[in-house]
Amino acid sequence: MDPYLKPFENDVQRRYGLFKKQLTLLEEAEGGFDQFTRSYKSYGVQRMPDNSLVFKEWAPAAEALFLTGDFNGWDNFSHPYTKKEFGKWELHIPPKEDKTPAVTHNSKLKVVVHTRAGERLYRISPWAKYVTRHEKSVIYDWVHWDPPQPYIHKHPRPQKPRSLRIYESHVGIASPEGKVASYSNFTHNVLPRIKDLGYNCIQLMAIMEHAYYASFGYQVTSFFAASSRFGTPEELKELIDVAHSLGIIVLLDAVHSHASKNTEDGLNQFDGSDSCFFHSGPRGEHSLWDSKLFNYSSWEVLRFLLSNLRWWLEEYRFDGFRFDGVTSMLYHHHGIGSGFSGDYAEYFGLQVDEDALVYLMLANHILHTLYEDCITIAEEVSGMPNLCCPVQEGGLGFDYRLAMAIPDKWIQILKEFKDEDWDMGNIVHTMTNRRYGEKCIAYAESHDQALVGDKTLAFWLMDKEMYTSMSALIPMNSVIDRGIQLHKMIRLLTHSLGGEGYLNFMGNEFGHPEWLDFPRVGNNESYHYARRQFNLVDTDRLRYWQLYAFDRDMNRTEDKYGWLAAPPANISVKHQGDKVIVFERANVIFIFNFHPTNSYSSYRVAVGPPGKYKIKLDSDGIQYGGHGRLDHNTEFFTEPMEFKNLPNSMLVIGIVFIIDY
């Protein structure tokens, strides 16, 4: 156990006790979590073997429920639900005379809710598997999805990677064209690029249906529905299946931290009350996100959310989840106005929402029990200890946490410091400052930095020069030269030193110009910035291709030597005057020279294993937009000369990254 947790040992044990109590209750009331998390097979609409249909909802505050839709000519009263115990409602509809289902595939439905106040509300089932919006409509419609020929997965899930290299992706912007791109486009045009780049994992954003496109998928309205703006559920299944055929696993960006406030096409006030799925009153409101907050102490909310995770794994064959907004879940203050100092008292006490904490423990325990290779990643900024420790050890059970301090550090450096003022020790500290034994996903930038109002690394480095000076047919000016070299070095340093996994947001690998901005009133509903210009790397006449090639070879080199799966690096040099960082990881020697003007010859570096070394990846390579100043045929031999507390050392030349030969 983390020694700093010793004063809080009773709190950790109590949390584990709450988790065990919930597991026991699940066993007693539901026959265990396996059955409980399959509730998507009984709620919403289910087709029986005889083609009769069973509809089931949880609406505890409703006075009456009816089903209406295309199948009954939109009669609001002809098909009433029967009230059951615990706020459940059920409706059985027999097949038609020809034995076909009474509600056909692709027909529209609505739940009509009569409230105790006498209101009549039109709602979408929280368990709806598919919802669509007519071009001229604001509200989404519940569409019954029961295709006569559902997609059959052909390929097995790939094995869990030893090193996780994540390509963070958004289907809708995955095209150079100014439009909403499709699942099929991603399958046929983007997956081959991801494979070529050497990424072995895709993190798909904005898949859970969200009525507001510009929310980036973080204002979910239908949790069981794959977004229809990109295509059909079957096309998403094909995307994941093809990714699996390429040896790429696929993670879903799961938003269980909050939900959209929408009522007619969201969860909010489904039964007419403000407390159906969410806390009532102010506790159910997220003041910063203008969204609703789940009541994780509710049995039916647990059923809904845990079944939701199971649904995506079973139906679509996702391989795991990146949990969004974990910090907001863990604390009653949701991280708003709270700067976390690292004092362990901040992680315990009344400010912690233990209902949410226990939910996350349950989710991770269930996922890893049912799916041994399932991967879960937490987006968590407070530094909650034990986040990535096994549940049986009192942890929350995540596999990885995002190293969110790293991109913030790079942006701070580029905004506030001249090149000669970069602090090597501070950079190394940020890269390595993580809890021992808890794995981190390192990244130099993600979608957050690409959004309008912020800048990508490439834009901070090269700004407007990217519009006019990225031609490979003309010499680089000083801005482009500096930008291209630092872009590569920042990403490689982050990749090799910052964690046990690595993440890149689509397009940033080649220094995608401009920002990301979704169509909205403020930009005249323009799609100009809601796209990724992959066409920029399809020509060797632009230097974007050089950045792409370096990112590709960086990933391929990691795949060969596996430094992400290796223990943390042994850092031998972080020289402030020379602006040099040297470390060894996975028997690979990494050497970085961040000095803006100085190159070094005969620079002594410490080495563990003796032997002959050769250059394997060189950021100064001409093919990567460098100057080709190093001879890759050079062999470097160690000497039995102790240096920097290591038994061997050798002399090297220039800015290189070398590996044991």
Would you name the residues annotated as active-site residues?
324, 379
Task: State residue 278 phi and psi, 5-degree precision.
Answer: -120, 165
Query: Which residues share a beta bridge with 321?
Result: 252, 376
Give the Cβ contact number of residue 148 at 10 Å.
6
Query: Which residues share a beta bridge with 606?
Result: 649
Residue appearing with tokens 């950045």: 547
Token pair, residue 66, equals 């009816």
* Contact call for residues 414 and 407 (beta carbons, < 8 A): no
Residue appearing with tokens 């996994």: 501
Indicate the burial class of 98 (C-beta count within 10 angstroms; 0-12, 13-18, 19 or more).
Answer: exposed
The helix or strand, by DSSP H or E, that contains position 571, with its residue range, turns out to be: strand 570-575
Token pair, residue 143, equals 């569409």
Helix (H, G, I), strand (E, B) or coil at 541: coil
Give the Cβ contact number of residue 134 at 10 Å.
10
Q: What is the DSSP letter of 390?
A: -
Task: State residue 572 phi and psi, 5-degree precision.
Answer: -105, -25
Indicate the burial class of 554 (C-beta count within 10 angstroms; 0-12, 13-18, 19 or more).
Answer: buried
Q: Mind giving me the DSSP string for 29-95?
A: HHSSHHHHTTGGGTSEEEE-TTS-EEEEEE-TTEEEEEEEEGGGTT-SSSSBPEE-GGGEEEEEEPP
Contacts from 615-618 at CB under 8 Å and sequence distance 24+? 615/656, 615/657, 615/658, 615/659, 616/557, 616/588, 616/657, 616/658, 616/659, 617/492, 617/553, 617/554, 617/557, 617/657, 617/659, 618/655, 618/656, 618/657
If phi > 0 it is left, if psi is from -120 to 50 it is alpha, else beta; for residue 420 that is alpha
Alpha carbon 142 to its chain's center = 27
Helix (H, G, I), strand (E, B) or coil at 375: strand
Q: Tell me, what amino acid is at 334?
A: H
Q: Mind giving me the DSSP string for 223-262?
A: EEEE-GGG--HHHHHHHHHHHHHTT-EEEEEE--S-B---
CA dihedral 226, 231, 232, 237 (to 10 degrees): -70
Q: How far apart are CA 205 and CA 174, in angstroms?
A: 11
- Closest Cα partner for 487 from 619, 357, 395? 619
Q: How far apart are CA 189 and CA 183, in angstroms?
A: 10
Query: Which residues share a beta bridge with 292?
Result: 259, 285
